[in-house]
Amino acid sequence: MKFTLLGAGGFVGQRLLAHLQSLGHEVLAPARNAPLNAACRNAHVIYAIGLTADFRRRPFDTIEAHVSLACRLLQECELASFLYLSSTRVYAGNAETYETTPLRVSPSNPSDLYNLSKLAGEAICLSSGKPNVRIARLSNIVGPAATTSESFIGDLCREAMAGQIKLQTSATSSKDYIWIDDAVKLLHQIAENGQETIYNIASGQQTSNAEWAARLSEHTGCSVEIIADAPTVTFPPINIDRIGREFSFKPESFLDRVPEMLSAASENE
């Protein structure tokens, strides 16, 4: 099968590229700013382009990455299929997290720019009239390469190796995480054979700051401090019934992979 992977240089993209190639698939991975129409023509396109940490500082780039470029490709190219990588962040403020759940966002909230742009990207996919268009809403993905990124888990790993974790949110703050290899296998399955239009890619389990800190302290001997009056930030549990039914998905225990993550962080010091 011929895939075109857009965003192959990112954390998820790199691992997905390696996974697809290991299975013998032909994969085109255009460089950033390269012409894309020819590479996408009649291909199974996986759209992994996006901004995360600096979206507030780069609003126009965020819209270009999440909406405008995807719109142009869908409008101009004949595609075998199109898998758009979105985010479970779009469920912020919701009690339910089914793929069919109506979502709450506010354009006046700067933090919602990310969610609004992802949802606009989803909307153009769903309204494009193209066949085999699918959306994958990714949870917080962790893996060895994440320890070198500017992310919460990356920061925790580096702090643990330096001897002290300093939590900026309470010990009971929690969110859903999923191991990178679980995520890329699901993305491959969805791109090839997904029967639904929208999928949550998540573990379906909440993991607290306290659990992360305890496991990192166990392996590094670091101390753990929580700032005074640290707020509790808890995201809603992500529903994974759909991937469970269709792909018999059962998440791997990523906390058991903490030594692997610390080893990767050490190698990149």
pLDDT of residue 131: 85
83 in Cβ contact with 45 (< 8 Å): yes
CA-based end-to-end distance of the chain: 38
Pure H helices in the chain = 11-22, 37-40, 59-63, 69-76, 113-127, 152-162, 180-193, 209-220, 241-247, 258-267
How far apart CA 117 and CA 153 sit, in angstroms, is 24
Model confidence over 18-44: pLDDT tens digits?
Answer: 999 999 999 999 988 888 888 999 999
| pLDDT for 169 beyond 70 | yes
Pick the CATH number of 143-175+205-236+253-267 from 3.40.50.1580, 3.90.25.10, 1.10.3720.10, 3.40.50.300: 3.90.25.10
Q: Domain residue spans in the chain? A: 2-140+177-201, 143-175+205-236+253-267
Pick the CATH number of 2-140+177-201 from 3.40.50.10490, 3.40.50.720, 3.40.50.300, 3.40.50.1980: 3.40.50.720
Q: pTM to 2 decimals?
A: 0.95
Model confidence over 79-102: pLDDT tens digits?
Answer: 999 999 999 999 998 999 999 999
